[in-house]
Structure 1
Amino acid sequence: MFVVYFLENKNILLSQLRKSVPSVGEELKIKGRKGKVSSVTSIDDRNIHVQVVLETVNKNTLIVDNSKKKKR
Structure 2
Amino acid sequence: MYSIHFYENKTYVLNQALRTIPAIDENVRIKGRNGKVVDVQQMDENRYFVFVEFEVIVDRSKKVESDPRKRRR
Instruction: Establish whether TM, by shorter chain, passes 0.5.
Output: yes
- For residue 56 of structure 2, what is the aligned residue in structure 1? 56
Q: Deviations over 1:16-72 (max 9, x none)?
A: 0011100000001111111000000000101100000000111055276x4864xxx
Q: Which runs of 5+ in 1 are unaligned?
A: none
Paired residues for 1:12-51 under 5 Å: 12-51=12-51
- Determine which structure has more spread, i.e. the larger CA radius of gyration: 1
Instruction: State the identity %.
Output: 31
Distance 2:21 2:51 in 1: 12
Q: TM-score, normalised by structure 1?
A: 0.83
**Which structure has more helix as a fraction of its residues?**
2
The SS at the match of 2:57 is: coil
Q: Name the Cα RMSD after superposition.
A: 1.8
How many aligned residue pairs are there? 68
Q: Which runs of 5+ in 2 are unaligned?
A: none
Q: TM-score, normalised by structure 2?
A: 0.82
- Structure 1 runs (4+) deviating above 3 angstroms are 66-69
